[in-house]
Amino acid sequence: MSDQEHFEAGERVAVLTTQPLDRLLDYRAPEGGCFLGAYVEVPLGPRKVLGVVWGPGAGDFDSSKLRSVIRVLDVAPMRSEMRAFLGKAADYTLTPMPAMLRLASRAPGLSDPPSMRKILRRGDQEPDRMTDARARVLDAMEEFGGLAFTPKELADMAGVTPSVVKGLVKQGALREEETPRDLPYPHLDPDLPGKALTDDQAAAAAALEEGVKSGAYGTTLLKGVTGSGKTEVYLEAVAAALRAGRQALVLLPEIALTAEFLKRVEARFGATPAEWHSGATMTERRRVWRMVGQGKAQLVIGARSALFLPYRNLGLIIVDEEHDTSYKQEDGVLYNARDMAVLRAAMCSAQVVLASATPSLETWANADAGKYKRLDLTSRFGASVLPEMRAVDMRAEDLLPSTWISPTLKYAMKARLERGEQSLLFLNRRGFAPVTICRACGAQVACDHCDSRMVEHRFLKRLMCHQCGETKPVPEVCPSCQVEGKMAPVGPGIERLGEEAAALFPEARIAVLSSDLFGSARALKQRIEEIAAGEADIILGTQLVAKGHNFPLLTLVGVIDADLGLQGSDLRAAERTFQLMRQVAGRAGRAEKPGEALLQTFQPEHPVIRAILSGDEEAFWKAEAAERQAAGVPPFGRMAGIILSGSDLAQVFDLGETLARNDGALRQIGAQLFGPAPAPIARVRGRHRVRLLVKVAKGAPLQEAIARWIASVRPKGDLRLSVDIDPQSFF
């Protein structure tokens, strides 16, 4: 079907809406007609809903009752390639099409007419009287130096009522202007000089450019240790895409990384690109969506949902830190952005670059099998070398009770302090203590709604459930035995480690980096920049710090509990630990000074720990691949998780049993079914969760069989069934 197909006024069209219906609805094309793919507003019962013209009407609906499309929205129609992509993605993830459409139309104000809008800039007057609220508004304005905001955005950012903003306008402290909504993005110039690349880097860049120039689909794993210049290299691929007049998308796993990245893009191409993530303002997101669709945004830097923007001519997708688990969306539509990037690229003849120091086993295996090309950057740029890695055998270390920094690590930190260098302690546990126990009866404080322990957050002065976010005060009296004053924290969280470090080094400047300690992504970003500039001696961080931040003064990484990730029953436990440890260790010695990484472990002889220390990655991947192959698990077999949930445990199990009894569709493709069994977290937010796991050989039509299988049941009441294809974690 061509994109130009046009329906005359009154002709029947089939419309896909964002409403949870399992079919297209017929309408009459409105006055003036509409194009295939047009975004439209249609009546549904008493409401107006958003939809896209998906094709000619089916004609099975009584034409006398047929209603008319209300209006065609003033945005570019959805291209056939995008419609096909959504369809394929829906089939792959077993997601209903309306949910896919919601993902693809998440632009605020999509149905607004194009128009002028009021924006505010700093005026030249000072307010007659400076109140706290007024100061907040002016601060917010200053913070974004010169940017303009709508009155509502400004009020929201400053946390004040609109009348405060209005008052400032009246006094001339803010100035109103009219501008067209949605300006195009400034032109990026691929021909500005890039950095002079090393031979290694130049060869990799040339190979990527070659791929982009071919105008065909292809996926390349760009593997290189942290600091080897992967970013410099793939920016050359971006340049090639821009030269070819095609759009490029760079996916980053973490919003906090965007600022640093934008600076690098600006240095390379002379202007800042479009940004798409939850931290961007509504106005900005609306602008990105529209400009991407009109081809007036050449490059988008974004989070995983940027894959669903309406590109006109997408030629390149970079997935940076492709192994990162945050690429898997774990609620709503369950998709893995890395896999969807490959799917999307295959459908629009684009290139994909998967960049990582520690690729996922899936990607490693695809490269190994020749499905992906592979480029290696083997050395770090410039003088920087990979840190020396050593295990600290905790069985031989002398520690006081409730302390976690071994003497060996302490001496290493002391040496850094004396030399004016930074140390980083890594512990992947938010909060103060993971467990709060009653020393009289031994009871642990659990969440009232979930099967999980409450974690003390001293910063908030409360206990928090990391499953559902519920909080409560730390009890004075034990909820089980009613004894008073015996509740005690057990085990370390990042906040507690901060106290220990402060006690050991009272003179040191200590920075704790944990996502929950910062009000906003912006505050966190700023803190990270300060630390990079040397405003801390000891940095304590959770998972957050493993992700690509650049701390030039950092020369020591101490991993408090290298065994932590190895305990789970998760299929990917070894892989995750390996990746995380190497990423964290890669933080040290990024500039001229050599780095050292110390891994505190009780099992230095564990194969994963040994592989991390020896640095023999290929050996690790091969061993891990062999194990998974033998077990027939991903990436050498396929899996799908089915999570059933509901408020009544017996009903949830009944549904599971019914599914298990009617597994004909699965048996036809030779799949094995496990469960029903309580999910590893058996209760979340008061809902019981039961899991079934399907395992089948690679190449079997898994989705199609599951679709037939689950169609045999109709979950009633508050029962819910969700399918997770290629589950990443088994919760």
Q: Enumerate binding residues for Zn ion (CB under 5 A).
A: 447, 449-450, 465, 467-468, 470
Shortest gap between Cβ of 172 and ligand ADP (angstroms)? Answer: 44
Residue 245 · residue 313 · CB < 8 Å: yes
Tell me which residue has tokens 């030779």. Answer: 670
DSSP tag of 96: -
| 197 is a contact residue toward ligand ADP (CB under 6 A) | yes
Residues 372 to 411 in contact with ligand ADP, rule: CB under 6 A: 381
Q: Which is nearer to ligand ADP, 164 or 299 (CB)?
A: 299
Residue 334 · residue 93 · CB < 8 Å: yes
Distance from the Cα of residue 412 to its chain's centroid? 34
Residues 478 to 537 in contact with ligand ADP, rule: CB under 6 A: none
Q: Which is nearer to ligand ADP, 276 or 381 (CB)?
A: 381
* Strand segments (E) across 343-470: 351-356, 373-377, 388-393, 422-426, 435-438, 454-457, 462-465
Judged by beta carbon distances under 5 to 8 A according to partner kind, the member of ligand ADP, Zn ion, none in contact with residue 228 is ligand ADP
Interface with ligand ADP (CB under 6 A), residue from 105, 201, 283, 363: 201
Judged by beta carbon distances under 5 to 8 A according to partner kind, the member of Zn ion, ligand ADP, none in contact with residue 431 is none
Residues 176 to 195 in contact with ligand ADP, rule: CB under 6 A: 195
Q: Which is nearer to Zn ion, 35 or 731 (CB)?
A: 731
Residue 512 · residue 498 · CB < 8 Å: yes
Q: Which is nearer to ligand ADP, 204 or 427 (CB)?
A: 204
Judged by beta carbon distances under 5 to 8 A according to partner kind, the member of ligand ADP, Zn ion, none in contact with residue 555 is none
The Cα 168–Cα 137 span in angstroms is 9
Q: How many residues bind ligand ADP (CB under 6 A)?
A: 14
For 209, 384, 524, the CA distances from 379, given in Å and listed in that order, are 21, 9, 30
- Which secondary-structure segment (H or E) carries 712? none
Q: Which is nearer to Zn ion, 268 or 457 (CB)?
A: 457
Judged by beta carbon distances under 5 to 8 A according to partner kind, the member of Zn ion, ligand ADP, none in contact with residue 201 is ligand ADP
Question: Which residues make beta-bridge pairs with 39?
Answer: 52
For 9, 58, 59, 667, 689, the CA distances from 51, given in Å and listed in that order, are 17, 16, 18, 38, 34
Is residue 635 reached through a cis peptide bond, with omega within 30 degrees of 0 on the bond before it? yes
Shortest gap between Cβ of 727 and ligand ADP (angstroms)? Answer: 29
The Cα 557–Cα 731 span in angstroms is 30
Q: Which is nearer to Zn ion, 393 or 516 (CB)?
A: 516
Shortest gap between Cβ of 432 and Zn ion (angstroms)? Answer: 18
The Cα 54–Cα 98 span in angstroms is 12
The Cα 94–Cα 69 span in angstroms is 29
Q: What is the largest CA-CA distance in the chain?
A: 85
Give 267's contacts (C-beta < 8 A, 6+ positions apart): none
> Could you write out the DSSP letters of every residue in 344-362?
HHHHTT-EEEEEESS--HH
Shortest gap between Cβ of 681 and Zn ion (angstroms)? Answer: 9
Shortest gap between Cβ of 412 and ligand ADP (angstroms)? Answer: 24
Shortest gap between Cβ of 685 and Zn ion (angstroms)? Answer: 6
> Could you write out the DSSP letters of every residue in 398-467?
---TT----HHHHHHHHHHHHHT-EEEEE----SSBSEEEETTT--B-B-SSSSSBEEEETTTTEEEETT
For 97, 314, 451, 704, the CA distances from 336, given in Å and listed in that order, are 17, 19, 27, 19
Tokens of 106: 């998440």
| C-alpha dihedral, 659 to 662 to 666 to 667, nearest 10° | 140
Q: Which is nearer to Zn ion, 136 or 449 (CB)?
A: 449
The Cα 616–Cα 245 span in angstroms is 41
Characterize the bridge pairing of strands 47-56 and 25-28: unpaired
Q: Which is nearer to ligand ADP, 15 or 252 (CB)?
A: 252
Shortest gap between Cβ of 261 and ligand ADP (angstroms)? Answer: 9
Residue 284 · residue 207 · CB < 8 Å: no
Positive or negative torsion for Cα 101, 104, 105, 106:
positive
Q: Which is nearer to Zn ion, 282 or 468 (CB)?
A: 468
The Cα 433–Cα 609 span in angstroms is 25
Judged by beta carbon distances under 5 to 8 A according to partner kind, the member of ligand ADP, Zn ion, none in contact with residue 226 is ligand ADP
Using the contact rule CB under 6 A, the part of the chain among 197-205, 296-304, 362-370, 391-399 near ligand ADP is 197-205
Q: Which is nearer to ligand ADP, 54 or 261 (CB)?
A: 261
N-to-C CA span, the chain: 42
Shortest gap between Cβ of 471 and Zn ion (angstroms)? Answer: 9
Shortest gap between Cβ of 300 and ligand ADP (angstroms)? Answer: 19
Residue 73 · residue 111 · CB < 8 Å: yes
Shortest gap between Cβ of 437 and Zn ion (angstroms)? Answer: 18
Shortest gap between Cβ of 503 and ligand ADP (angstroms)? Answer: 34
For 223, 240, 285, 710, the CA distances from 278, given in Å and listed in that order, are 28, 29, 9, 33
| 198 is a contact residue toward ligand ADP (CB under 6 A) | yes
The Cα 232–Cα 269 span in angstroms is 12
Q: Which is nearer to Zn ion, 296 or 449 (CB)?
A: 449
The Cα 264–Cα 231 span in angstroms is 9
Judged by beta carbon distances under 5 to 8 A according to partner kind, the member of Zn ion, ligand ADP, none in contact with residue 470 is Zn ion
Judged by beta carbon distances under 5 to 8 A according to partner kind, the member of ligand ADP, Zn ion, none in contact with residue 227 is ligand ADP
Shortest gap between Cβ of 197 and ligand ADP (angstroms)? Answer: 5
Using the contact rule CB under 6 A, the part of the chain among 196-204, 302-310, 392-400, 650-658 near ligand ADP is 196-204
Q: Which is nearer to Zn ion, 457 or 638 (CB)?
A: 457
Residues 205 to 244 in contact with ligand ADP, rule: CB under 6 A: 224, 226-232
Tokens of 82: 């995008």
| 470 is a contact residue toward ligand ADP (CB under 6 A) | no
Shortest gap between Cβ of 275 and ligand ADP (angstroms)? Answer: 19
The Cα 646–Cα 30 span in angstroms is 43
Judged by beta carbon distances under 5 to 8 A according to partner kind, the member of Zn ion, ligand ADP, none in contact with residue 465 is Zn ion
Judged by beta carbon distances under 5 to 8 A according to partner kind, the member of Zn ion, ligand ADP, none in contact with residue 198 is ligand ADP
Q: Which is nearer to Zn ion, 108 or 469 (CB)?
A: 469
Shortest gap between Cβ of 548 and ligand ADP (angstroms)? Answer: 7
Shortest gap between Cβ of 528 and ligand ADP (angstroms)? Answer: 15
The Cα 157–Cα 155 span in angstroms is 6
Q: Which is nearer to ligand ADP, 197 or 417 (CB)?
A: 197
Judged by beta carbon distances under 5 to 8 A according to partner kind, the member of ligand ADP, Zn ion, none in contact with residue 326 is none
Q: Which is nearer to ligand ADP, 356 or 651 (CB)?
A: 356
Residue 343 · residue 275 · CB < 8 Å: no
Shortest gap between Cβ of 714 and ligand ADP (angstroms)? Answer: 50
Q: What is the CA radius of gyration of the chain?
A: 28
Q: Which is nearer to ligand ADP, 81 or 324 (CB)?
A: 324
For ligand ADP, the binding residues (CB under 6 A) are 195-198, 201, 224, 226-232, 381
